[in-house]
Amino acid sequence: NAGVTQTPKFRVLKTGQSMTLLCAQDMNHEYMYWYRQDPGMGLRLIHYSVGEGTTAKGEVPDGYNVSRLKKQNFLLGLESAAPSQTSVYFCASSYSQGNYEQYFGPGTRLTVT
Amino acid sequence: SQQGEEDPQALSIQEGENATMNCSYKTSINNLQWYRQNSGRGLVHLILIRSNEREKHSGRLRVTLDTSKKSSSLLITASRAADTASYFCATDEWGNTPLVFGKGTRLSVIA
């Protein structure tokens, strides 16, 4: 099993450009999450999904959109990238929330110039 | 947000010593989890402790939870250079809420 995979691993964008980050999991998990990690800030939840076709806002959702059209995929979109969105983005999945562990992808390092 | 706060922010020890990291949180929790992150990698789950538990062990890891003090500690015994990583606590509240992560403790184990 591949677990949780993320595409791409690295990306450089210019301010105002758009892009989509793809997360895929092969564990049949209902729950999927997108986090960003900035130096000294830990992980902050951007959006999450509790099942196919559902999405919900996390702690820092502004400037991002998500979609969960298929159970195994969770897409994170930046419509108009800003330098403040320079970060490392992690996707995770879990069977349920709280009392189940989350499985993390390897991360996507995004730089917006 | 009831983000956990780890203490210390950074810790440097010699191989073979024990490492203790603490996590404090603000409100009542359902579960508390500890994760490890090696440099440049995703987080890896270490251990979960429920609010009605006081202590759990997993190999060289020992986690305690004191709900009256709203704090948890992670002890790594007989540390190895491979334990060098950042360690995060994460909590969830009752009612199927997402995990909220702390800012982490950066552990360096010197051979």
pLDDT tens for each residue of chain A, 113 residues long: 789 999 999 999 999 999 999 999 999 999 999 999 998 778 999 999 999 999 999 999 999 999 999 999 999 999 999 999 999 999 999 998 878 999 999 999 999 99
Q: Which amino acid is at B51?
A: S
CA distance A59 to chain B (A): 8
Locate A54 and state its tokens: 């559902």
In this predicted structure, what is the pLDDT of residue A98?
A: 74
Residue A96 is predicted with a pLDDT of: 87
Taking only Cα atoms into account, the Rg of chain A, rounded to an integer number of angstroms, comes to 13
What is the residue-averaged pLDDT of chain B?
94
- Chain A residues at the B interface, defined by Cβ less than 8 Å, are 4, 33, 35, 40-45, 48, 58-59, 90, 92, 96-99, 101-107
Q: Write the burial class of residue A20 (CB in 10 Å: 0-12 exposed, 13-18 middle, 19+ buried).
A: middle
- For position B2, what pLDDT does the model report? 47
Angle at A72 between CA B49 and CA A41, to 5 degrees: 50
Say if B25 is an interface residue toward chain A (CB within 8 Å): no
Q: A102 vs B97: CB contact, 8 Å cut-off?
A: no
In Å, the largest CA–CA distance within chain A is 40
Length of chain B measured in residues: 111
Predicted local distance difference test score (pLDDT) of residue B4:
76
Asked if A48 and B98 come within 8 Å (Cβ–Cβ), the reply is: yes
> Cβ of B43 and A90 within 8 Å?
yes
**Residue contact B88–A43, C-beta within 8 A:** yes
Give the mean model confidence (pLDDT) for residues B4-19: 93
pLDDT at A42: 87
